[in-house]
Each structure stands twice: as C-alpha cells, then as structure tokens.
Amino acid sequence: MKKTLWFLLIISALAIGFYPAIYFIIDRQFGLLSTKSPELLANLYWNIGFYTHIISGGIAMLVGWPQFIPIVRNRYLELHRNLGKTYVIAAMLGGISGYSIAFFATAGTVAAAGFIGLALVWLYTTWEAYNHIRNKRVEEHKRMMLYSYAACFGAVTLRIWFPLLGAILQDFDLAYQFAAWLCWVPNLLVVRLFLEKN
C-alpha cells in the first residue's frame, strides 16, 4: 500500500510538474484560460504572474518529492541541500505569483479567497521550514516541509477535485469554488494526522 501511494505521488508530481510545458507548445487558450477575458490575457503584469507561477510551481513540484526519501537525505546530503534551496526559491516565487494572480481567479471571490489562502500557507510553511533548518531545528524543519509540499501538491489535487465536483454538481463555478479550498485544506489535514501518528 505504501509503495502504491509513493508511486501515485511521484507519477502525479511528474505529470503536473511538467504540465506547464504545454503552454509553450500549443495555443494557451485552453482549459481555465479559455474562461479569462481577452483584456486579462493581454495584461503584461498578469502574464508575468501567471508564467512565473506555473514555471516555479512546476519546478517546486518536481524537486520536492525526492526530499522525503531517506536515502537522499542521509546518503546524499549535498544533493538534499541543493534540491532544498531550489525548492525554497521556486516555492517562494510560486507563492508570491500565485497570490498576485489569485485575485483574478475564475468563479469569483470564493475561489479567489481559496487560492489566496493556499498561496499564504505555502509561503508561510516554506519560510518557516527554511528558518528551522537554518537554526538547525531539524525535526521542526521536516514537519514544516511536509506542510509546504502538501500545499504545493494542491496543484495535483485541484485537478482531481475539480473534474470530480464538476461531474457531481454540474455547475462549473460552484465546482471550482469548492475545488479552490478542497485542493489544499484536506492535504494539510492529512499531514496533521500523519504527524500525530508518527
């Protein structure tokens, strides 16, 4: 069961980590971008925020999961540190840019609030994890990194919740509003339960 969960996590992280490449290969007006106004899609600052978010978020997704493999932490410490630095930079850029574009979220204020909350949690947990390791508080660092990657993994769970809710509710906006919260709040609760049992 544990191996299956790890396999699914890695496959999901790789798939979503490389997903932003699609926006550089085909016409970007697909999926949620097709719901954006032409004015927003033409806005320079929104585009900077959007592309910063998907690129840095993808990098964070790709380099984050190996950090939880004991052999990487214990036998390849230099690799662990370098991946960690990359993750922190990518997560901070992804969080800041995610916060900035969240105000323009599809489906209005409820969805925007969900994504703003996600961005703030991602920024806070990543920064705390970084501060803990700088002060050699290893256990606190590990716990906060679990929360940080759980927030990052919201990119995966969003793509699970949204189509599922869309099929159930048959209402695009309502499904997206729920998904904007469900994509990250349950992730944090799972980490909390995991830490309480370990």
> What are the structural domain ranges in the chain?
14-197
> Which range among 7-11, 69-73, 119-123, 186-190 shows the weakest confidence by mean pLDDT?
69-73
Cβ atoms < 10 Å from Cβ of 128: 18
Scanning the structure block, which residue is given the tokens 């508080």?
137
Tokens of 112: 């925007």
Residue 143 CA from chain centroid, whole number = 17
* pLDDT confidence band for 198 (50 / 70 / 90): confident
- Rounded Cα distance, 163 and 87, in Å: 28
- Rounded Cα distance, 180 and 75, in Å: 38
pLDDT of residue 12: 95
Amino acid at 115: F
What separation in angstroms does the CA of 45 have from each of 37, 50, 74, 139? Answer: 14, 9, 42, 39
Mean pLDDT (the chain, rounded): 94
- Rounded Cα distance, 89 and 76, in Å: 20
12-67 tens-digit pLDDT: 999 999 999 988 887 777 777 888 999 999 999 999 999 999 999 999 999 999 99
pTM: 0.94
